[in-house]
Structure 1
Amino acid sequence: MRALRTASLLALTTATLLAAAGVATAHGTRWQQVGHTTAENRISGEGLTTLRLPGHAPELVYRNGATIPQPLKDEGWGHVGDPDSLRGYVFDVYQDTRTPTPSTKMYLVTRPDGTTTEFVHPLLADEPAANANAQVAATPDGQWLVSGPLGEIDRLYVSPTPFLNPRGPKVAGDLPVAARIHLDHHIRSAQGCDFTGATTLICATSDPYNDLYPTNLQLLQIDLARPLTGRDVTARVHEIGQVPLVSTCTGTFTPEGVDYDAGVLRVEVVPPSPCNTVTDVYSFERR
């Protein structure tokens, strides 16, 4: 979320843990880099997800400020976060950039037929107003959406998935918080997250510091104590390693979206200017 950066980092010009060795490990899980591609920054740089529509080939969908429909901008939704997709539905998260201290955040759900519905959620007392929506991830069973803000946090928020969960709304209105994921270790500026299993989330951060974890710009694994059911749950956080920082330019790298689909984990990293005309997308598989 480049518009929301609060700190900068002198970037390395050589590969870091994930790119140099091609392997990251968290509790026995090994991720091997298997690919690298780029996407033009006119459409990318805020998030990505794999969309699977019946009768169509899988499509990698990117998000960027320029992809926000003008009617949503007119309503004040000026920032879009990392999306997710499941069963042909696309789930987007929006931040109110018109109000100095936002009191709401918005989830936009695009159904397989292309129709959209806005779910505007009034922020609760423990939901930070600034950077109110950074990313959203759908559980593999499609029943729950997990979202969170930037900044340093100790919890993520769980809501019933519209249209897919019987407890979720089916018409425009509030998308209530049903539960919280309480993290055993703080995380800072998680830009993108996705589920790789019923109890495992992988998140990429733009945290420029190494006070919380051994490296900055971390790739984190969040292990839930149990699958989500709409009640609070605890979770352990482990650092997998640092996201790839590979560029001929020096300056600030910004990790953004995370996508997991059909066994492939994708991590989106915006390189420093002037190389940021494209967004790097690194692919990993379990080994």
Structure 2
Amino acid sequence: MRALRTASLLALTTATLLAATGVAAAHGTRWQQVGHTTAENRISGEGLATLRLPGHAPEIVYRNGATIPQPLKDEGWGHVGDPDSLRGYVFDVYQDTRTATPTTKMYLVTKPDGTTTEFVHPLQPDEPAANANAQVAATPDGQWLVSGPLGEVDRLFVSPTPFLNPRGPRQAGDLPVAARIHLDHHIRSAQGCDFVGATRLICATSDPYNDLYPTNLQLLQIDLARPLTGRDVTARVRELGQVPLVSTCTGTFTPEGVDYDDGMLRVEVVPPSPCNTVTDVYSFERR
């Protein structure tokens, strides 16, 4: 997902280590960088998720514009956001790029057997149309999907997970909003999010400013007051630090997808041109 506004920054020569602050520090949590890899930009740059299929080794799947199947493009779904995966299912989020002011967003669910189902949701009055789906994150119990748009927002949207939640749809149709997560602090341009526990999300933003938090391009921690049940819930937002900005090129960095799997947090960052032939993926563990 490309940001609405991106930061123009000089490339740093060393990685930024992310130390938790606020609530995270009180719990003794610290995310430390433990690895770095790259993925070709022909497949990456909009998001990533770890897919675990029975009988197969874990696989990291990437998303970008070129990975959108042509039939979906023909329907008008020309933008894909940061996906998530759980129990062999893959959850993708799409934006209508054919309409100047979109009125719908789409969730594409891929079952473990490879079959796909489209869930098209009419936007509610408080769902911004621009980049209506920037990312999606499944709760660890598989019951709920949390999604949000780009831009500055004070809430995230909760829907029942198709096929995994008895309240969720099992055939193509609307995927309704069941609840909202009301944030105690605005966030801007969250490009990717994932759950690292039943009540904690980690999100990466392409926010180019430091008016909301001390740094720009933040990694944010969102702590829910309780696990999701389909009712509205409040949440506290804390900044953990700036994502790594490492490149021999100078210019615009764009944080993208976030993935958490088996104790490993991965954050995707697109480096400045012309170094953006690859996407950087930084790995972190809790210390």
TM range (shorter): over 0.9
1:256 CA drift (Å):
0.2
- Cα distance in 1 for partners of 2:4, 2:78 equals 12
Consecutive unaligned residues of structure 1, counting only runs of 5 or more, are none
Aligned residues: 287
Following TM superposition, where does structure 1 have runs of at least 4 consecutive aligned residues deviating by more than 6 angstroms?
19-24
2:145 equivalent to 1:145? yes
Cα deviation 1:98-117 (Å, max 9, x = unaligned): 00000000000000000000
- Cα distance in 2 for partners of 1:20, 1:10 equals 24
2:76 equivalent to 1:54? no
State the percentage of identical aligned residues: 93
SS in 1 for 2:34: strand
* Residues 6 and 254, structure 2, Cα contact 8 Å, conserved in 1: no
1:12 CA drift (Å):
3.8
Matched residue, 1:95: 95
* Residues 7 and 252, structure 2, Cα contact 8 Å, conserved in 1: no
Cα deviation 1:130-183 (Å, max 9, x = unaligned): 110000000000000000000000000000000000000000000000000000
* Residues 256 and 269, structure 2, Cα contact 8 Å, conserved in 1: yes
SS in 1 for 2:7: coil
* Residues 24 and 32, structure 1, Cα contact 8 Å, conserved in 2: no
Pair 1:25–1:37, CA change in 2 (3 A): farther
1:18 CA drift (Å):
3.4
Pair 1:20–1:149, CA change in 2 (3 A): closer
SS in 2 for 1:93: strand
- Cα distance in 1 for partners of 2:27, 2:178 equals 29
1:32 CA drift (Å):
1.4
- Cα distance in 2 for partners of 1:221, 1:235 equals 10
Say what the alpha-carbon RMSD is for the aligned residues. 2.3
Matched residue, 1:230: 230
Q: TM-score, normalized by length of structure 1?
A: 0.96
* Residues 254 and 271, structure 2, Cα contact 8 Å, conserved in 1: yes
* Residues 23 and 30, structure 1, Cα contact 8 Å, conserved in 2: no
- Cα distance in 2 for partners of 1:150, 1:51 equals 25
1:39 CA drift (Å):
0.2
1:25 CA drift (Å):
5.4
Cα deviation 1:230-251 (Å, max 9, x = unaligned): 0000000000000000000000
1:270 CA drift (Å):
0.3
- Residues 10-49 of structure 1 aligned to structure 2 (within 5 Å): 10-18=10-18, 27-49=27-49
Q: TM-score, normalized by length of structure 2?
A: 0.96
Pair 1:235–1:143, CA change in 2 (3 A): same
Matched residue, 1:7: 7
